[in-house]
Structure 1
Amino acid sequence: MKNKRLLYVLLPAVLAIWGLIFQRLWSAAEGGPEAAVTEITPPRFIHRPVASHGPPKLLLNYVDPFKGGKINPPLSVGVAGPVNSPIRAATPAPGRALNFPVAAPAVPVPPVVWPSLKYMGSINNTRQNTRIALLAIDEKEAMLKAGDERQGIVLTKIFRDSVLVVFQGKKKTIIRNLSPQ
């Protein structure tokens, strides 16, 4: 054993911890002194009304979506006064049509039809620090640098195992085909 000094320190610590554990178990089994249970008092709440005014007024002058009928004005609600008083009852305003902006109908966008693309690899030019990708576009081979365009396909990035191309505003990653032909 390499660290006998560490053993002399840790062994008494482990024995002391286990001794405390067994001492607590022993005292609990004998019915020894337990922790004093304190009585918990519930918190006192002050009861106040949340809102000092009554319930909100509802405007129920909308069309019933299940019956398809006309708007039925609700009963008049208001302050009752003398019969010839100008302020007799509050009546709701006549129902107006809601003029929400209408979205234009969805025009189906034709899907982009990609030509057949195969990434066959790349050539590194260490003198000029450039990389050229070998692509087969509709079975025609092409050598492209980053930023070059052929048949509407723009090569944006060249990686060891894939290339990133853009065709009609859509991006696509073409992975290198490793299978023999």
Structure 2
Amino acid sequence: MKNKRNTYILLSAVLLIWGLLVYQFFSFTSGEAVQEAITTNLKVTPLAVKERDSIAINVNYRDPFLGKAYLPIDPNMRTAGTKKKAMPKETVNWPSVVYKGIVSDSKDKKKVFMVIINGQTYLMRQKDTEQQIILKNGNREYIDVLYKGNTNKILIQQ
């Protein structure tokens, strides 16, 4: 009998607490509160910002390790040991090349690869040429192709 009485008291306390929480929640959401519109005229003025002074740093000081004065390197001046710079190569527009996988048995010495070049499917072996693209080598994951002197690694696409 004693346990039932404690259970009823605790149950009524829990229901009372939850009831108060629900009442508080719904009392804040009532739409009866009217807020008055407050209008104020605000004037916006830009801030005055001072320009910063630029500072020049003189880097023509003696090198503490070599003991010599700093000499800037003139790009137009050539020294005796330098060679002419190589001309930049032209960018090569690669055709669309897609590697689809190995067609032949992987145990064979001569593997046959399925390559799609500009929408046309080709079965190629190593050192084969199709549309100026040379297949150098390959495996299950990728192939190496050569086009106009540029090499590219192409991953398998499924």
Higher normalized contact order (CA 8 Å, seq sep 6+, divided by chain length): 2
TM-score (norm 2): 0.44
